[in-house]
Each structure stands twice: as structure tokens, then as C-alpha cells.
């Protein structure tokens, strides 16, 4: 049982101090109930942008709070009211929106301390082997086995060596990286499922007689080696960008007449070849896989991207993709963005991406497929934004918006970066050895905690909620099949807000329970600390390491449900029903 809180999914095993395991979310499980009988509300039609992702990952949520710390309800004037209607269901919750990315630059990914944190975080789906270096990743080779049909180095249109141009190998046993089998071990240890990005770039820069077929065969061989362990696959990573291997090739050394620069139409044609090879391989081993095509998340801006990429892909790939994979880093690249810019982007950008993909699909006249945001984070830097409490709060708002906008899957970038970013490190865990002078290796950053507690107190269905009063307060409400109502309140402003929560069509029990997260006093804008119900880090960054044992606060509902949401902070609350705590 979870200390202080047990969040139990139907068919899930329970472990001491851990959240429900992804092992329970195998696609082979029978379908769960389709109505929310606790609130006499019918589920809406499953959005086609969610599709099989939600079917594969949704489970009945039963919440049991074992113990709590009693406190008085917050008092004072409340200028903000949140109204929740638990009988108006917006969406069943795809548990795959809580996903994350591992990568070959993390070093050891099976170290027990790190695995312990990831198990507790329960991302449920982990993408591998990484970002742009997926397109230079040879999963079945060692460093001394560089293919003879690839150039020694890869360059962007300006003649610069692209970051992924050094090639990566799935059989590299050096300690700074990890092997492909390490990935499988990590997935097994954390009871997560995987989404694998195969090397599409090789189809472009390969200098053999049939580069596309050769690259597709390598991808199909990975499907065979995988042997049914992974259902979800992507063909390439951000192939539309000039930073990506394969964007530009040396046509003098190409043997199948490909153009110097990639187009969406060409990628779509190649996608069909990859998909045919990979599906054939899956059939040979008695497995069914889903394959995603790379789409761009916004309308062409005329800078470093292929014009009309989505239109080209859909024109030639047609209905071949099983899902669409997009990426977004929310804030302008390299900008020293303010808290307001970062936090507001979470809601506007998430909706804009989905609307753009729907528009492209409709214009192309093809079938809408599920949408997966397989990389997301913020680009803001200069004030330690990426490792800050603001980044954590941004993550919480993004999760709410992903569910509201009917995404089927999302993977935050990333669990850890063994990179030179220093304070501009997107990793949820401190995996860089040089940072151990600041805090212990694998110490969680604030985003870890905001995502951890979101999942703990968010039920199996999102329901309607609205905010009246202060526009800085965002609300995301949910219900549990076991009968409770949950709400996540995020404060995007720099002053605390006392919020009254009214729940229509619901008789509350005697108590409500909540966790309160806020930044530290080290920096009023971009604190790199987070405090949970008064518990904070022992070092200079991150949060409390006793987070699995922190009890929620408990307050009576008799005087109304009122909570104070800290400046740049969040409250995760659950309201009991009579007879259920």
C-alpha cells in the first residue's frame, strides 16, 4: 500500500510505496466498463485523436487514502470559484499521456536509485532510443561496426556538423551510454511499455544501391528482435528539420535518385516502404504493431523546416500511418522567457497543435488517426527555467491540457540528460555527474514532483470544470470510479489565490484531501526547489526525497471546500463521497 495514499487500478499489482504498474496496461487486457456508473454519466464517444492509445491504457481508478494529516480548511476571502460538474465527462484518461523519454545519452539507465524514482513516477510509456540521434542509431551494431555505406560525417545546409552526425550504436557497452538491451531491462524494471523510434535518416544518407530498402530492413529486424515486446513504433524523428540527419544528402553518392533536400512527399513514400517491412516482420512473429508518421506541429514558418511538410506526407502516405507523432518545446528557442510566457504557453500551444493536425488531416481528405506528442518540454533558458519550479507547474498544466484536448499519448523530454546543458538541462532527474556538486546524482527536479502528484490525484475520467474570478487559476477536474472527485488547481500568477471549489450533482463526504506544491525562496521567479506540504529538498535543488511517504492534508467539507493555491504553485485535491475516504 502507498504510504498515506493508495491509488489502485483494476487488474494492477500493488507494490510498497509504488504507483500502479504499467504491466497492468497490456493491450491484451479486456476492455473496461464504458460507463461511469458512480456518477450516472455516460462516457463520450472516444475521440479519434485518442483511439487505441486510450483503449490500451485506460483502467478503472479506485482511490483509497490510508492516512492523512488533519488541518483546518483554508480561510479568508475567496475571489475565485471553481465549479465542477462530475456528470459531464470530457474524456476517459489515457494513461499514456504521462509518458517520458529515455535516451542513449543518459549513461546507465538501470541504476537502482534511478529505476526507483522512475517506478514511482510511473510514466507508463517510455520512448527510446532518443531524439535526433534516433536517425543515426544503429540498434544492432557496436561502435567498431560502422556500416560501410554511410558517410564519415553528416552536415546541415550551412556546412555545420549536425549534432547527431557521429552515429550511435545499440551494442555500445561503454559506461557513458547504454545498450539496446539496457532499454528493454529498464522497461521491464519500471513496468513500462515502449515506443521505439527507428532510424529513418539511413534511408536518405545511405550510399548503398537501395538505401530505403536497406534502412527499412534494419527497422524490420528490430521488430523481429523485439519479439512482440513493443507495440508502438515511429519512423524517424523530426525529419522535416535541417538539424536532422537525412534532411540534406550528397546526391553524387546517392544511388536511387533521391533529391538533395527531403520533402514531405518523399518521406510519405518512404514511410509506406518502412511500414510494409515492419508489419511483415511483426506478422512473422505473431505480433501486431502500430506505426507512427512524423508530422510537424505548426504551420510552416519559412525558417529551418520543409515547406508544406504535413500536406506532402499525407498526400503520399495516405492512411498508412497508424498514428501521427509531433514534437513541441512550447517557448521560443533560446529565449530567456518569463514565468508568464512559459505558463501561458501550456494551454495555448497544446490546443493549437491539435487543431493544426486536425486541419491538415481534413484538408488532405484522409482518416484522422490518434495523435502522440512524443517530445515536449520548454526551450526557455538563461534563468534556470528548465530545472525550475515554473517548469514543474508548466508540466502540470500541460498534462491537464493534453487530456482536455484528447491526445492519445505524450512523452515528456526527458528522464535525464548526460549533456552540457548545466542549468539548461531538460532532464527530470539529475544524471550528469558534474551536477553532483549541487545535489546527489539522480535527484529529481521540480517537474518530477508536479507530474508525480498529478497522476496520484487524477482519476480515470476528466470532467467539466470552470473558473470564475482570477484568470491566473487553471482547473482540471476528474472522477474516480470508486466515487471521489479530484481537481488540480494551478496558479500561474505571482500571488497566492484562495479558491472555493463547488461540485454540482455530488454529495461530498466528510473530508477532502490535498497536496500543496510551491517553489522555494531561493528565487521568486525561477526557484529550483519545490516544497510539498511543507517538505522540501535537503540540497540546493529539487524536492523532498521522502515524497512517497508524505501524507496529504485532510480538512472537513462541512464549511465548504476552500484551498489556497500558492503563487506559481498547485494544489492537487480529492473530495470524498459518503462512506468513501
Res. 547: pLDDT tops 90: yes
Q: How many CA atoms lie within 13 A of 108 on its CB side?
A: 10
The model's pTM: 0.93
The residue with greater pLDDT, 118 or 163, is 118
Whole-number Å distance between alpha carbons of 579 and 293:
48
Predicted pLDDT of residue 415: 94
Of 39-48, 265-274, 416-425, give the range with the top mean pLDDT.
Answer: 265-274
- The percent of residues in the chain predicted with pLDDT above 70, rounded, is 90
Full DSSP string of 556-576: ESTT-EEEEEPTT-EEEEEE-
Bond from prior residue into 414 cis (ω within 30 degrees of 0): yes
Question: 435-490 pLDDT, tens per residue?
Answer: 555 677 889 999 999 999 999 999 999 999 999 999 999 999 999 999 999 999 99
Cα(232)–Cα(242) distance, integer angstroms: 26
Average pLDDT over residues 373-394: 96
Closest listed residue to residue 542, CA positions, set 430, 437, 457, 417: 430
Indicate the SS3 state at residue 398: helix
- Residue 316 belongs to what H/E stretch? helix 309-317
pLDDT interval class at 433 (50, 70, 90): low
**Band of pLDDT at residue 301, cut at 50, 70 and 90:** confident
pLDDT interval class at 19 (50, 70, 90): very low
H-only helix segments in 134-286:
180-190, 202-205, 211-226, 264-284
Amino acid at each position: 500500500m502507498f504510504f498515506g495514499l493508495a491509488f489502485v487500478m483494476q487488474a494492477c499489482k500493488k507494490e510498497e510505496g509504488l504507483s500502479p504498474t504499467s504491466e497492468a496496461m497490456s493491450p491484451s487486457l479486456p476492455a473496461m466498463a464504458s460507463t461511469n456508473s458512480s456518477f450516472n454519466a455516460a462516457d463520450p464517444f472516444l475521440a479519434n485523436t485518442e483511439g487505441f492509445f486510450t483503449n490500451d491504457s485506460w483502467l478503472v481508478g479506485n482511490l483509497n487514502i490510508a492516512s492523512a494529516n488533519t488541518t483546518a480548511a483554508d480561510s479568508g476571502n475567496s475571489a475565485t470559484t471553481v465549479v465542477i460538474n462530475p456528470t459531464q465527462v470530457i474524456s476517459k484518461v489515457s494513461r499514456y499521456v504521462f509518458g517520458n523519454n529515455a535516451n542513449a545519452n543518459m549513461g546507465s539507465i538501470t541504476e537502482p536509485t534511478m529505476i526507483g524514482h522512475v517506478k514511482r513516477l510511473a510514466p507508463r510509456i517510455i520512448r527510446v532510443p532518443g531524439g535526433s540521434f534516433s536517425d543515426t542509431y544503429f540498434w544492432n551494431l557496436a561502435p567498431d561496426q560502422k556500416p560501410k555505406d554511410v558517410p564519415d560525417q553528416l552536415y546541415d545546409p550551412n556546412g555545420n556538423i549536425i549534432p547527431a552526425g557521429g552515429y550511435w550504436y545499440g551494442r555500445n557497452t561503454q559506461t557513458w551510454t547504454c545498450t539496446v538491451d539496457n532499454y528493454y531491462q529498464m522497461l521491464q524494471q519500471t513496468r513500462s511499455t515502449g515506443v521505439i523510434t527507428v532510424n529513418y535518416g539511413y534511408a536518405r544518407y545511405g550510399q548503398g544501391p537501395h538505401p530505403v530498402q536497406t534502412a527499412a530492413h534494419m527497422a524490420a529486424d528490430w521488430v523481429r528482435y523485439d519479439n512482440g515486446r513493443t507495440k508502438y513504433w515511429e519512423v524517424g524523428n523530426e525529419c522535416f528539420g535541417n538539424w536532422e540527419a537525412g534532411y540534406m544528402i550528397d546526391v553524387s553518392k546517392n544511388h536511387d535518385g533521391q533529391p538533395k533536400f527531403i520533402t514531405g512527399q518523399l518521406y510519405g513514400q518512404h514511410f509506406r516502404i518502412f511500414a510494409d517491412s515492419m508489419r511483415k516482420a511483426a506478422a512473422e512473429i505473431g505480433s501486431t504493431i502500430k506505426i507512427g508518421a512524423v508530422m510537424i506541429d505548426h504551420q510552416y514558418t519559412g525558417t529551418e523546416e520543409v515547406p508544406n511538410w504535413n500536406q506532402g506526407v499525407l498526400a503520399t502516405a495516405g492512411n498508412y500511418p497508424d498514428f501521427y507523432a509531433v514534437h513541441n518545446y512550447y517557448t521560443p528557442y533560446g529565449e530567456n522567457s518569463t514565468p508568464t510566457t512559459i505558463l501561458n504557453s501550456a494551454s495555448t500551444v497544446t490546443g493549437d497543435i491539435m487543431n493544426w493536425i486536425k486541419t491538415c488531416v481534413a484538408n488532405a481528405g484522409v482518416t484522422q488517426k490518434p495523435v502522440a506528442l512524443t517530445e515536449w518540454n520548454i526551450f526557455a533558458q538563461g534563468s534556470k527555467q528548465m530545472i525550475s519550479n515554473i517548469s514543474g507547474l508548466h508540466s502540470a498544466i500541460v498534462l491537464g491540457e493534453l487530456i482536455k484536448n484528447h491526445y492519445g499519448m505524450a512523452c515528456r523530454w526527458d528522464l535525464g540528460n548526460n549533456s552540457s546543458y548545466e542549468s539548461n538541462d531538460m532532464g527530470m532527474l539529475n544524471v550528469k555527474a558534474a551536477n553532483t556538486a549541487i545535489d546527489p546524482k539522480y535527484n529529481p527536479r521540480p517537474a518530477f514532483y508536479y507530474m508525480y502528484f498529478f497522476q496520484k490525484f487524477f482519476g480515470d475520467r476528466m470532467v467539466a470544470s470552470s473558473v470564475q474570478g482570477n484568470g491566473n487559476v487553471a482547473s482540471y477536474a476528474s472522477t474516480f470510479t470508486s466515487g471521489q472527485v479530484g481537481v488540480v488547481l494551478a496558479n500561474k500568477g505571482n500571488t497566492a489565490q484562495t479558491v472555493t471549489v463547488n461540485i454540482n450533482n455530488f454529495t461530498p463526504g466528510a473530508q477532502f484531501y490535498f497536496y500543496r506544491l510551491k517553489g522555494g525562496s531561493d528565487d521568486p521567479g525561477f526557484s529550483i526547489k519545490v516544497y510539498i506540504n511543507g517538505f522540501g529538498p535537503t540540497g540546493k535543488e529539487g524536492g523532498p526525497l521522502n515524497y512517497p511517504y508524505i501524507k496529504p492534508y485532510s480538512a472537513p467539507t462541512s464549511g465548504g471546500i476552500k484551498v489556497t493555491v500558492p503563487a506559481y504553485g498547485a494544489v492537487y485535491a480529492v473530495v470524498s463521497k459518503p462512506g468513501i475516504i
